[in-house]
């Protein structure tokens, strides 16, 4: 379900926001500091700040704020940087925000996946392979021999599906006991939800995939 709401009902200080310039792949992550009458003040995380000098005032940005059961999305103009700290962004305050409710469906399927740290992430012991346990339109879960910190960005490839790499953000990491020893159940939110076509492909392929990789 999709609806529109005013910014004051959706945004609050401390919230994580994600920004992407139209037609460019780089993603900036920041924390909302303050909402003024006409601007959002955002502290951009140092790890995602390498290309902020390339943004010109009035550049349009696609913005999102993922929550547990929905994602807020809006478009806004980049207004500039704070004079004393270039990592503080001034972003145009939107007039309305789209609230996109998440579907709760998940497809349980056991598949090998390949992992790489997201752009500019530093995580020296990241395993390159893990096992997918379920996937849905907005997120996925996998098991790993090591934990992952909440907020870490990952590039995830599922070789059995024809999508290439998907960018995701770790939302939870829970330790579990198994016969093989301790493992960690990782929940990750896709930065870009699966398109309708990808969802249809997933549902179409899952039956044959489960035959090849039984649950």
125 shares a domain with 97: no
Same structural domain, 155 and 81: no
Task: Tell me how far CA of residue 208 lies from CA of 22, 107, 142, in angstroms.
Answer: 36, 13, 20
Q: Are residues 38 and 89 in the same domain?
A: yes
- At 43-94, the pLDDT tens digits run 998 766 554 556 888 899 999 988 756 788 999 999 998 888 878 999 999 9
Contact in structure between 140 and 117 (CB atoms under 8 Å): no
Residue at a domain's end among 81, 101, 121: 101
Into how many domains does the chain fold?
Answer: 2
| Alpha-carbon gap, residue 171 to 152, rounded angstroms | 8
Question: 156 with 194, same domain?
Answer: yes
Residue 124 sits in a domain whose CATH number is: 2.40.10.220
Distance from C-alpha of 215 to C-alpha of 21, rounded to nearest angstrom: 39
Domain stop point among 70, 101, 132: 101
Give the end of a domain, one of 74, 101, 128.
101
Give pLDDT, residue 83.
Answer: 84
Q: Does 102 have pLDDT greater than 70? A: no
The lowest-confidence range among 55-59, 107-111, 116-120 is 116-120
pLDDT higher than threshold 90 for residue 37: yes
Can you give the pLDDT at residue 126? 63
Highest mean pLDDT among 40-54, 120-134, 137-151: 137-151
Q: Which residue has the higher pLDDT, 152 or 69?
A: 152
pTM above 0.95, yes or no: no
| pLDDT band for position 124 (cuts 50, 70, 90) | low
Residues 44 and 128 occupy one common structural domain: no
Q: Is the pLDDT of residue 142 over 90?
A: yes
* CATH number for the domain that contains residue 43: 2.30.110.10
Mean pLDDT, the chain, whole residue set: 81
Specify whether 23 is located in the same domain as 36: yes
Residues 18 and 68 in one domain: yes
Range of the domain at 175: 106-212
Query: Is a pLDDT exceeding 90 seen at residue 101?
Result: no
Same domain for 63 and 126, yes or no, is no
Q: Are 154 and 58 found together in one domain? A: no
pLDDT at 212 over 70: no
- The answer on 151 and 72 residing in a single domain is no
Do both 50 and 119 map to the same domain?
no
Band (120; pLDDT cuts 50, 70, 90): low
Residues 203 and 110 grouped into a single domain = yes
């Amino acid at each position: 379900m999709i609806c529109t709401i005013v910014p004051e009902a959706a945004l609050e200080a401390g919230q994580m926001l994600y920004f992407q310039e139209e037609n460019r792949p780089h993603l900036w992550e920041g924390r909302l500091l303050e909402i003024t009458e006409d601007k959002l003040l955002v502290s951009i995380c140092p790890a995602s700040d390498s290309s902020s000098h390339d943004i010109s005032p009035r550049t349009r940005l696609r913005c999102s704020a993922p929550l547990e059961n929905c994602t807020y999305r809006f478009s806004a103009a980049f207004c500039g940087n704070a004079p004393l700290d270039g990592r503080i962004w001034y972003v145009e305050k939107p007039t309305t925000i789209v609230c996109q409710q998440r579907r709760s469906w998940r497809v349980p399927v056991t598949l090998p996946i390949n992992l790489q740290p997201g752009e500019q992430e530093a995580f020296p012991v990241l395993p390159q392979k893990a096992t997918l346990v379920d996937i849905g339109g907005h997120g996925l879960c996998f098991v790993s021999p090591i934990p992952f910190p909440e907020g870490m960005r990952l590039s995830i490839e599922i070789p059995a599906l024809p999508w290439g790499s998907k960018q995701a953000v770790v939302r939870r990491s829970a330790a579990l006991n198994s016969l093989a020893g301790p493992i960690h159940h990782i929940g990750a939110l896709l930065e870009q939800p699966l398109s309708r076509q990808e969802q249809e492909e997933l549902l179409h392929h899952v039956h044959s995939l489960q035959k090849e990789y039984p649950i």
